[in-house]
Amino acid sequence: MASDSTPSGAQIEPGDGLSYVRGATDILMSDATVSRHLLAIVERFADRSAVVFREPNVRWTWREFADEVDVFATALLDLGVAAGDRVGIWSPNRAEWLLTQFAAARIGAVLVNINPAYRLAGLEYALNKVGCKTIVAAEQFKSSKYLDMLQTLAPELRAVIRMGEAKTSGMLNFDELMRASRARVDTGRLDAPEAALQPDDPINIQFTTRAGRPAIRRARR
């Protein structure tokens, strides 16, 4: 027998052309954007641990993490990425992935999660479907050599940003962008596009695989 806390009967389905649903509202959900929510957390827990990656030995407090987000958000703005632009991320879990997610949200760009298992055809479909302007990519994952596939495909992107210490012809290096942008961070410049964002603006497009074909899921801010 189902308890009061166990869902039963028909589940809520999206309606009216919307890609999300909102259930019971007796407990109010936050209407803060991702960026504003992060800043609120920093105000409360600035010195608490926020991000830990054993490799490459990354440990950030909430304040440090927010500062790193602003650095990469500055780099994206300098590359011409604007609110509403699509920024692709093609990588397993890494600190750079997390920074890209929050940096894109900071300036109103939409992160496009590309399935780490995709090969050339899936990558081409994803980039063309959503019109990515920029992509951040790991060097490879297992047997999938991401940078080689990007060079083979030669997509029309504003920038390809590669992770790792090495350099690849025609691509930017993530760490070098961070170093170059660190001295140019202007919170007023970052706050301007963020102030225009609404909680219902798109923040994320995630490509999954359904019946052997790429499929799209969208998330809101």
**Per-residue pLDDT at 76 exceeds 60:** yes
pLDDT, residue 6, reads 43
pLDDT, residue 221, reads 59
Range name among 8-12, 35-39, 53-57 with the lowest pLDDT average? 8-12
Average pLDDT of the segment spanning 182-200: 92
CATH class of the domain comprising 34-192+201-220: alpha beta
φ/ψ region of 131 (left if φ > 0, alpha if ψ in -120 to 50, else beta) reads left
* Contact between 202 and 218 (Cβ < 8 Å): yes
Amino acid at the residue 23: G
Cross-strand partners of 159: 134
Other C-beta atoms closer than 10 Å to the C-beta of 114 total 25
Query: Residue ranges of the domains in the chain?
Result: 34-192+201-220
**Per-residue pLDDT at 217 exceeds 70:** no
Confidence of residue 212 (pLDDT cuts 50, 70, 90): very low
Is the bond preceding residue 202 a cis peptide, omega within 30 degrees? no
* Contact between 197 and 33 (Cβ < 8 Å): yes
Average pLDDT of the segment spanning 54-73: 94
Rounded to whole angstroms, how far apart are CA atoms 76 and 134? 9
Round the average pLDDT of the chain to a whole number and report it. 86
What percent of the chain shows pLDDT beyond 70? 84
* Contact between 95 and 51 (Cβ < 8 Å): yes
Average pLDDT of the segment spanning 127-145: 90
Q: Could you report the per-residue pLDDT of 161-186, keeping only the tens digit for each?
A: 999 989 999 999 999 999 999 999 99
Average pLDDT of the segment spanning 126-147: 90
* Contact between 65 and 51 (Cβ < 8 Å): yes
Q: Could you report the per-residue pLDDT of 91-123, keeping only the tens digit for each?
A: 999 999 999 999 999 999 999 999 988 889 888
